[in-house]
Amino acid sequence: MASITLKTPSLSYDIHIAAGLLRTLYPRLKKLYPAKKSFRPIIVTSENIWALWSKDVLASFPEPPTVLFHPVGEKHKRLAAVEKLADQMVEAGADRDTLLLALGGGVVGDLTGFLAAIYMRGIPYVQLPTTLLAQVDSSLGGKTGVNLATGKNLIGSFHHPLAVFADTNVLATLPPEELRAGLHESIKAGIIYDPKLFKYMQANAEAILAADPAALTKVVAASVKVKAEVVGLDEKENGLRMILNFGHTLGHAIEAATQYKQLLHGEAVAWGSIAAVQLAVSRDALSEEDANKIVNTIMTYGPLPQFRADAKRLVTLTAGDKKRRSGRRAFVLPKAIGTVEVVYDVTDAELLSAANSMLTLMKAQA
């Protein structure tokens, strides 16, 4: 089992990665609590995930916990859903000794984490990520929240889980397009911080895309290491953590412009990463050679679906990006594989040109 610790100046928790963790969950949860404290687990998940993995989850529980269901899909990551779940928690008698368990992908994880952050002003929760994206990225780091119609993750809170248990067995039932979407966050981790991870993904695409357990475990552990280290150095995204947002400025704009319906998050990030690469090349900040490596690797983990959006509208939407400071848009640009920089001087014209190049590439791919 790989266990990676995420440590900030004020807290510390472990991300455990191994096959079969769900079947031994209950004793692991108990260990998280000081000797005398009781805990009352409530699981938040979606019906499709529960149908596939409830047997494993329940295997170690002395009695079945309450299970609350959230509908599938990014478009349901909304405040109304949080309120509905909170009411169900009250009805189930949840109090400050309740431990929420987020069993699912990033949607369930972000929403349940936010619910935990605000229910009775904050209760603990544990992440049980069931998608590759959630295992490599969304289950750790404490960013929780929901979307607004006007923008992605615009309501939320930093609230870290007590622990993360990433059971790699669950990846066996993941649809291939979901696996690929999650892998784009790992490619991102390589581009921004870990050139070895990038190289590994470049060289082992066949095994990774075939969901070879050893290859996937390696990718999950390396991606988690990147994120844990970055978050440990800048928990609240005042500086360094912005690099985890590489590809997201335009990626989030694409998601909002398509009403969170046309692309998976990882796919939108992949298109956003391509646009960021094109922008960096146009500034002579990134070599053509590295740019080609990045774009080719992203495409290897494709196919990236087409989407319908106007470049101007995308640029307008980036104005609402959370990274902006004093009205200045922050943009993460690659300098080389493994190194990025955050710049504040990207103009609308530059961004428009990069968005147009990305859309041209998309159309040429069709």
Ligand X SMILES: NC(=O)c1ccc[n+]([C@@H]2O[C@H](COP(=O)([O-])OP(=O)(O)OC[C@H]3O[C@@H](n4cnc5c(N)ncnc54)[C@H](O)[C@@H]3O)[C@@H](O)[C@H]2O)c1
Ligand Y SMILES: O=C(O)C(=O)C[C@@H](O)[C@H](O)[C@H](O)COP(=O)(O)O
Least Å distance, CB 71 to ligand X, is: 9
Q: Could you tell me the sign of the dihedral formed by the alpha carbons of 159, 162, 168, 171, in that order?
A: negative
Site string for ligand X, 255-294 (x = CB under 6 A): ---------xxx----------------------------
The 3 state secondary structure assigned to 107-136 is HHHHHHHHHHHHHHHCCCEEEEECCHHHHH
The helix (run of H) or strand (run of E) holding residue 247 is none
- The entry of ligand X, ligand Y, none that residue 180 binds, CB within 5 to 8 Å by partner kind: none
CA distances to 34, 124, 126, 190, 317 from 247, rounded to whole Å, are 41, 31, 28, 13, 14
Selected from 17, 70, 77, 311, the binder of ligand X by CB under 6 A is: 77
Which residues does the annotation mark as catalytic?
Answer: 121, 143, 185, 227, 237, 241, 245, 248, 252, 265
190 binds ligand X per the rule CB under 6 A: no
167 has binding-site annotation: no
237 binds ligand X per the rule CB under 6 A: no
22 versus 82: smaller Cβ distance to ligand Y: 82
| Cα–Cα distance for residue pair 99/212, rounded to 1 Å | 33
159 has binding-site annotation: no
The 3-state DSSP class for residue 240 equals helix
Quickly count helices (H) and strands (E) in the chain: 14, 11
Selected from 44, 137, 221, 323, the binder of ligand X by CB under 6 A is: 137
| Cα–Cα distance for residue pair 183/270, rounded to 1 Å | 10
Least Å distance, CB 50 to ligand Y, is: 24
Find out whether 152 and 177 touch, Cβ atoms under 8 Å: no
- The entry of ligand X, ligand Y, none that residue 329 binds, CB within 5 to 8 Å by partner kind: none
| Cα–Cα distance for residue pair 12/107, rounded to 1 Å | 24
54 binds ligand X per the rule CB under 6 A: no
Residue 219: closest CA among 235, 205, 234: 205
CA atoms within 13 A on the CB side of 82: 22
128 versus 281: smaller Cβ distance to ligand X: 128
- The entry of ligand X, ligand Y, none that residue 273 binds, CB within 5 to 8 Å by partner kind: none
178 versus 237: smaller Cβ distance to ligand Y: 237
247 has binding-site annotation: no
Q: Which residues bind ligand X (CB under 6 A)?
A: 46, 48-49, 52, 72, 74, 77, 104-108, 110, 130-131, 133-134, 137-138, 141, 143, 153, 170, 173-174, 178, 181-182, 185, 264-266
Binding residues for Zn(2+) are 185, 248, 265
